Amino acid sequence: MGMESANYLYRTRALTTALAADLLAKEMSDLAMINFDAQGFAHNYECRVLAQLSAGQAVTRSFGDPDDSPHQPLLVEVKLISGEVWYGSFRRVFDGCQEALLGCPNPDWVCVVAGGVAYAVAVADPADWRELPVVPTVTAAGYPTAGKLFLASFNVVSAFDSSMKSLWTTDLESHGIEFVGLGADVVEVRAYMPGFDDWVPRAISLTDGVASELKV
């Protein structure tokens, strides 16, 4: 190999190593910004996202089939009030989607959103878990006074109570949803409606999920 070729190979490897280091640093920085949000609900645990497992730590359970996604899983540490700790590996599906650790109406459950996929897990028995039917999950809101956690995709809103099973799912036929707050027996949202080319207020019944126009 000539000197010029060797220098080129050295520079290429150096740039590749530097790029990989930059990408890893950015990923670790992004993960550090994912903090547990109890949403105002009581919770019998603490949890956090890990960039990687340390020596002596091992994944307790995997959630979702990692072979179904090209993305690295989201690693989460859960610590119960008893002191017991377990580590979960959550399949990520979508790029640039919601990543969150959320409290639930049930203090013994956690909602983990990884790459747009929402998982509900019983913290004392992580074998008891389910993938929630809101894909991709792009936003969430918890309202303890209503005893409900709401998840939304770009067009769908779904409500969950302490059972962490969907009470109802409503399709607003929108291209974006933002939670506004609670009204009289309704959850108020703003939905980006392509027909209006604007954000339109909507009220969704807490009881049956029926949506109606919200007068402002």
pLDDT tens string 64-80 = 886 777 788 999 999 99
The confidence score (pLDDT) of residue 8 equals 42
What average pLDDT score do residues 16-21 get? 41
Tell me how far apart the alpha carbons of residues 81 and 46 are, in angstroms, rounded to a whole number. 8
Q: Which numeric CATH code is attached to 34-213?
A: 2.40.10.480
**Cα end-to-end span (Å), the chain:** 74
CA atoms within 13 A on the CB side of 114: 28
* DSSP helix/strand/coil, 213: strand
Q: Are 169 and 132 in contact (CB under 8 A)?
A: no
Spatial neighbors of 169 by CB under 8 A, at least 6 apart, are 133, 134, 156, 157, 158, 209
pLDDT band for position 33 (cuts 50, 70, 90): low
What average pLDDT score do residues 193-205 get? 94
What does pLDDT average to over the chain? 86
pLDDT band for position 54 (cuts 50, 70, 90): confident
Tell me how far apart the alpha carbons of residues 151 and 136 are, in angstroms, rounded to a whole number. 10
pLDDT at residue 215 greater than cutoff 90: no
pLDDT tens string 115-171 = 999 999 999 999 999 999 999 999 999 999 999 999 999 999 999 999 999 999 999
Give the H or E element holding residue 210. none
- What pTM did the predictor assign? 0.83
Q: Are 205 and 150 in contact (CB under 8 A)?
A: no
Q: Residue ranges per domain, the chain?
A: 1-29, 34-213
Q: Are 120 and 130 in contact (CB under 8 A)?
A: yes
- Give counts: helices (H), strands (E), the chain: 1, 17
Residue among 84, 141, 135 nearest 108 (CA): 84
Kindly compute the dihedral angle of the four CA atoms of residues 42, 87, 129, 204, in this order, to the nearest 10 degrees: 50
